[in-house]
Each structure stands twice: as C-alpha cells, then as structure tokens.
Copies of this chain bind each other. A is one copy, B any other.
Amino acid sequence: VQKRKPTIVDVADRAGVSVGTVSRVLNGATNCAPALRERVQRAIRDLDYVPNHAARSLKRRSTEQIELVVPDIANPVYVAMAKSVQQVARERGYRLSLISTDGNPLEERLAVKNLERQHVDGLVICSIRVTPSFVEQVRASRHKVCVIGKLPPRTEVDSVHIDSEFGAALAVKHLVEGGRRTVALVNGDAKTVPAEARLRGYRRGLAENGLAHDASLSVHTTFTMFGGYTATTPLLKARPELDAIFCANDLIALGVMRRLRELGRRVPEDVAVVGVDNIDLGKVSSPTLTSVSLLAGERGRLATELLTERLAAPELEPRHVLLTPRLIVRESSTDYVVGARPEPSYVSF
C-alpha cells in the first residue's frame, strides 16, 4: 500500500506541462501564463504534492532554517530568549529549531557540526562554557554563527554580550545600601562563564561598598531551584549571621527562598534575596523577587538580527553588541511592613 510520494515530474505530467513550468509556479515566478499556472495548481492539489525539502536544499544550498542552542531549556530565561529568536526568525523567513544542550559540551559541538553539514543555514549559540576549542570551531564557521555571550577579544564572530559582572555588582550595591552587612553569594555551576562573572561582580560590589570579601560566604551549586535549595542549609550553618544572599540566577533564588522559609528565616526581614534574569516567576513568587535583568529577549532578538543580516551578506565586518543590565527591585530585598498586603505586581506583564 506504500504509494510513492508524487514528485515534480508527476505534477508536470498531470498538468501536461514541463517541470520547468511547475518549478516556476512553485517559486512564484512572474513569467507564467495564468492558464498554465491554474492547471499546475490544480495538479498539485489533486496529487497532494509537497516539495521534497532535501532535494530543494541540496540544489539551493540553503535550508531556510536556523538553530538556537541554549544551555538548559528548563530555565525560563532561555525560553524567553527562544521566543524572541523565533519571532525574528519567522519575520525574516526562517524556521527555528531549538536545541538544549543540558550542560553537555558535546551537544554544542554537534550543533556546529550540523551547521557545517548544511543541515541549517545559521546558528545562534548561547554557551556557558567557552573553551578555546569551542571558540575555534565557531570561528571557522564565522559566516553563519552569532554568539550570545562573551568571546575572547578580537574574535571575528558576531556576538551580543551583556555586562553581567556589572549587574552582579549592582545587586550587591543595592543590598548594602539597604543596610545589609553580611552578603552571601550562592553561585551556579563552577567553571562556567556566568558563574565566574557573578563572582567577579560580587567581589567588586563588596569592595566598592566597603565590605570585605570572605570565601566562606560564597558557595557553588547548580543553576537550578534544587541547587539553591540544597546550598542554603550548609551556608546558613557556616554563617548564621548572614542577612542577604545574592543568587547567581532567579531559579537559585527561588530555591533559596523556599529553604530559608523552611529554616525559619523570613524574607526579606531576616534575609534579603536578589536573583538574576528577571524571569516571570519572580513576579508571582511570594515574596516577589528582586532581580538583575539580563535582557534575555533583547539579546535573542539582536543576535537573530545580526545572524540573518550576515547570512544575507557574509562579507560584513564582524559586529559586537554590548548591553547593560538593569536592577528590578521587588519585595525580596525591601523591608516592608510585616503582614501588609503585597502590592499588585503585574504592571510589567
């Protein structure tokens, strides 16, 4: 019962025209008699013909598809990024396929390989581990890649980057200005680019606001709620007097807040908490979460624009965009009257 798929030849036969004509109709060429066009379209419908993607991209040398590679799709911030990438991609005539590497560097390599074998036309890649070999691989495909993140200086690849170190310093400053004296850091996966930026920013924030750095106040875990949850207990045991925690992202912060509550600490009265990424969840959590926005949607949008423009003009000079984070203050870092009704928080929804 396996009927062979109709090809362009079948359509041509059926319509009584040449394959050239069918192809022209398919691709919207103007020079084509209306009568023939009519007949071809009928034949296409009759036979239920759909063009074969592989053949088409083999011939055209392009797939009209780009790929977004993110570290972990379970993190809502990457979902937000994906949404804006998808929107720009669609506007510019590309389909988007989404890959989550789940922290596996192999997956990133595989993505670039897929690019090289012309599986997709271009790549937007957001990596948390930027190794030299990764950079080398990306550089070799520079005409088709845009990196979201920090590349070594003078790397000839389009990129959009945000100064998250500054964002971290901003968070610490906010906490100190709110009267906190012992600010801890619950960081994400060690040896990742974001974790290292957080630590640098944290130390800078402390220094700039007259506080000494103490290694026992900063711990590493994973960039997840569970990570934040489990890291809290030992941290509190080691430094019971702490009155503020800067978390490397919002998921960690949510886990931390949950665990603090279980351990009898009130947020923000006893311990202030600040996260990073400004995910929507922080707007409905209780308390709502103060956070450093890293403009994920904006970065996705810009990266996709850079990429599509480069695909259209490969000889463009490499471009680099640098963004600056913003601090969004909510309840988790602000002393408010205990028991008061929280204010509506959906202004920015």
Contacts and interface: CB of A to CB of B under 8 A. Distances in A.
B229 A255 contact: no
A284 B102 CA distance: 22
Contacts of A229: 284, 346, 349
Interface in A51-78: 51-55, 57-58, 63, 73-74, 76
Contact of A286 (B225, B286, B346): B286
B344 A52 contact: no
A281 B73 CA distance: 15
Contacts of A113: 50
A123 to B, nearest CB: 13
Interface residues of A, number: 57
Contacts of A344: 262
Sorted from nearest, which 3 A-B pairs have the closest CB atoms?
A97-B97, A54-B58, A258-B284
A262 B341 contact: yes
A174 to B, nearest CB: 23
A5 B100 CA distance: 28
A231 B74 CA distance: 27
A114 interface: yes
Given A53-B119, A55-B58, A114-B53, A255 B284 contact: yes
B52 A118 contact: yes
Contacts of A283: 225
